[in-house]
Amino acid sequence: MRQLHWFQNDLRLADNPALASATVADSLLCVYLLPKPRPWCNLTGLGPQRDRFLRESLQTLKVDLQAMGQDLMVLEGSPELVLPNLVHRFGIDRISTSDTPGWYEKKAIRFLEEKLPRLLKIFRGPALFDSEQLPFSLEDLPHNFSPFRRKVEKLTIPGPLAKPAAFPPPPSAQFDAIPRAAASPHPGLPLPGGSAAGLRRLDQFLFQTHAIADYKQTRNDLDGLAGSSTLSPWLANGALSVRTVAHQIFRYEREHVANESTYWLYFELLWREFFHWRAVVDGKSLFKQTGRQGRRLLTTFEPRQFARWCAGDTDYPLVNALMRQLLATGWMSNRGRQIAASCLINELGLDWRYGAAFFEQQLIDYDVGSNYGNWQYLAGVGSDPRGGRHFNLEKQAAQYDPDGLFTTKWGGFRPRQPEHVVDGADWPISEPS
Ligand SMILES: Cc1cc2nc3c(=O)[nH]c(=O)nc-3n(C[C@H](O)[C@H](O)[C@H](O)COP(=O)(O)OP(=O)(O)OC[C@H]3O[C@@H](n4cnc5c(N)ncnc54)[C@H](O)[C@@H]3O)c2cc1C
């Protein structure tokens, strides 16, 4: 049997059931298709840091595969076009891939299932639980986080699978080098891509620094690495398996201490899990302004306001610093994301989807369920039982950046801009000279 493994958000060798299924094949072709995000909200392409993190992750995966006599073929193009072509060229009998929750990705899978009947096998995706483990059917998935958490938090999480001992050889093919990214990691927040870096960070946050034991107190820090785990980039592209992270938390609790903070890190993984399953169930409505409830919002669109928010050049210094941190590093803390999103939605009165699309382009931890789910939550069209959040930006700055150190560090204090810009050329009357 000739198998093709289509890597998506599962860029690792261990705890990867779809890849493990290839160990019985006679040959294995490993493929990754570079994402070409659909043009959406006037934005195209990946931000430089997101592109950089992805390429580093792929490079590490390629080296890991090569060490086992395998290789990784990285191509551009849509799965609907490229995969049938590869099937034909290499006489593939079976395609394995890991499940993804997003509506557009599922649409591509449905197309391939029709085009290549019985070839495609879908395995567990980036979730903690298997769907059969959930104590409710997906149609009855709770609308809000708390009832979801209460129902699932005591479920057993199966242990992560070990890395396979060997893989079948690749077919003879051309495996080109992966072009290096133009950007490099920001020295102030160096987050390199790849499984090894993700595992190092996990070990550092738990067993080396014991930062997990104070996480509940520090998790709202605005700068990464200092307060929260910063594991999201590796979790998002699957360089780290969420089951591995959960089991390391449990190990830490057995070997060191189990307290409110250690529980809280697991609690946050349950938020991720909630948004994952909501994305599966909500489908296309995750991208609708009115959300799954069809709740109408009053927004205007002012391109200049949006451009200023994206560039970190608004009248709100803390928001500017956060957006500049995002542009420079590809990451922003959870508190920062809430503040920046609330500003776009409430102060600037813009359509939340533009903010979500910009985050999608820039975040090195972009994850469809967590990104769109959190934006909908804040805009009041998603899972917030309170119907949306409006943060008082002055209070947030006083509480989370009282001395303005973060705002200064990331260049948030900007000269004030005029509110309206009128183009003199359009002004019809000029004074006679
Ligand atoms: C507007 C907005 C957009 C967001 N977009 C994304 C996104 O695209 N990708 C993404 O991974 N997270 C997203 N989040 C959630 C959260 O901000 C990040 O997961 C978190 O900041 C990552 O930092 P960390 O790894 O240090 O988190 P920690 O605080 O250390 O949490 C550990 C892990 O739990 C999960 N987690 C924590 N908070 C949340 C949350 N609110 N929702 C879902 N999962 C959570 C993440 O996997 C995270 O790595 C978004 C939040 C907001 C408000």
* Percent of the chain predicted with pLDDT > 70: 97
Using DSSP's 3-state secondary structure scheme, residue 283 falls into: helix
2-125 maps to CATH 3.40.50.620: yes
pTM of the prediction? 0.96
Q: What kind of architecture, by CATH, is found in domain 195-284?
A: Alpha Horseshoe (1.25)
- The model's confidence at residue 424, banded by pLDDT at 50, 70 and 90, is low
Distance CA 348, CA 342 (A): 9
The per-residue pLDDT for range 231-263, each reduced to its tens digit, is 999 999 999 999 999 999 999 999 999 999 999
Max CA pair span of the chain: 87
Please give the CATH topology (third level) of the domain spanning 303-409.
DNA Cyclobutane Dipyrimidine Photolyase, subunit A; domain 3 (1.10.579)
pLDDT at 76: 94
**Separation in Å, CA 48 to CA 37, 127, 328:** 14, 27, 9
Each residue of 216-237: pLDDT tens digit? 999 999 998 889 999 999 999 9
Give the model confidence (pLDDT) of 381-419 as tens digits: 999 888 889 999 999 999 999 999 999 999 999 998 887
Tell me if 103 sits within 8 A of 284, measured CB to CB.
yes
Distance between CA 294 and CA 350 in Å, rounded? 18
Reported as a single tens digit per residue, the pLDDT across 93-129 is 999 999 999 999 999 999 999 999 999 999 999 999 9
What does the domain layout of the chain look like in residue ranges?
A: 2-125, 195-284, 303-409
Sheet architecture: strand order including 120-123: 73-76, 27-34, 2-7, 94-98, 120-123
Closest ligand 1 atom to Cα of 340 = 1
Q: Is 230 in the pocket of ligand 1 (CB under 6 A)?
A: yes
Q: Best of 100, 201, 232, 267 to mutate for ligand 1, by most ligand atoms within 8 A of CB?
A: 232
Is the CB–ligand 1 distance for residue 228 below 6 Å? yes
SS3 272: helix
Q: Does the Cβ of 268 fall within 6 Å of ligand 1?
A: yes
pLDDT, one tens digit per residue, over 55-80 is 999 999 999 999 999 999 999 999 99
Neighbours of 106 (CB within 10 A): 17
Span 132-158, average pLDDT = 96
